[in-house]
Chain A
């Protein structure tokens, strides 16, 4: 079965802190995505990638960097975390030309 894993599952940091969220997929999918989920908002796309070394800007990219090191691994970087980045973060993958996405279990990030 297709699988997307995320780590850590929970993270607490302070304002100005440096955070890296990790995502790995074993689906052999080309596309990977990072979303944030906040109350009153749908999932909002931060960054996405269609292959190793590729990065595309999503709808809410400010304050985030991302890097796709391999087909399997996609990282989200918050270099100067702010309280406004407290959220539930989801990673997902999909095949090229397919809209169906497979999601990880999420990482809850709290920035104090």
Chain B
């Protein structure tokens, strides 16, 4: 079935350092799934951070970016300079074909130190 594997957390970085959270996917129900990154801040529900629906394209939001690589089946999340306010749990996800269902990764907790 469809699945998503991402960096196991927690990930701890210092403010202004760069960040990469790895995500790879396996999609059996669809050749080119829609890919997403969601973020969950403390005490809140998940919210969409960025999405890419076309292989080879890059999505970006709030300084984060991710490129849809169909050759390596990856969708890594990167940021050049993190802030303390980026501390949250990040989820990689893919949309299953012909359904409204989404498969989520396990989530990666990010802690940014001041």
Of A13-21, A67-75, A77-85, A90-98, the one with at least 4 CB within 8 A of chain B: A90-98
Asked if B91 is at the interface (CB within 8 A of a chain A CB), the reply is: yes
Q: Which residue of B lies closest to A6 (CB)?
A: B45
Asked if A46 is at the interface (CB within 8 A of a chain B CB), the reply is: no
Q: 1/0 per position for A23-39, CB-CB distance to B under 8 A?
A: 00000000100010100
B46 cross-chain contacts in A, Cβ below 8 A = 43, 90, 92, 101, 103
Instruction: Count residues of B near A (Cβ-Cβ below 8 Å).
Output: 20
With A94-B100, A96-B100, A100-B36 in contact, do A42 and B105 touch (Cβ < 8 Å)? yes
Contact B104 A43 (CB under 8 A): yes
B102 cross-chain contacts in A, Cβ below 8 A = 99, 101
Contact A42 B47 (CB under 8 A): no
Asked if A111 is at the interface (CB within 8 A of a chain B CB), the reply is: no
How many CB-defined contacts (below 8 Å) exist between A and B? 50
Instruction: Count residues of A near B (Cβ-Cβ below 8 Å).
Output: 25
Binding site for A on B (CB under 8 A): 4, 34, 36, 43-48, 51, 91, 95, 100-107
Binding site for B on A (CB under 8 A): 4, 31, 35, 37, 40-43, 45, 48, 50, 90, 92, 94, 96-106
Pairs A–B under 8 Å by Cβ, sample size 28:
A4-B45, A35-B104, A37-B107, A41-B106, A42-B4, A42-B91, A42-B106, A42-B107, A43-B91, A48-B100, A92-B45, A92-B46, A96-B100, A99-B34, A99-B36, A99-B51, A99-B100, A99-B102, A100-B48, A101-B48, A101-B102, A102-B47, A103-B45, A103-B46, A103-B47, A104-B45, A105-B43, A105-B44
Beyond contacts A42-B104, A103-B47: 15 other A-B pairs, Cβ-Cβ < 8 A, are A4-B45, A31-B100, A42-B4, A42-B103, A42-B105, A43-B91, A92-B45, A94-B100, A96-B100, A99-B36, A99-B51, A99-B95, A99-B102, A100-B51, A101-B48
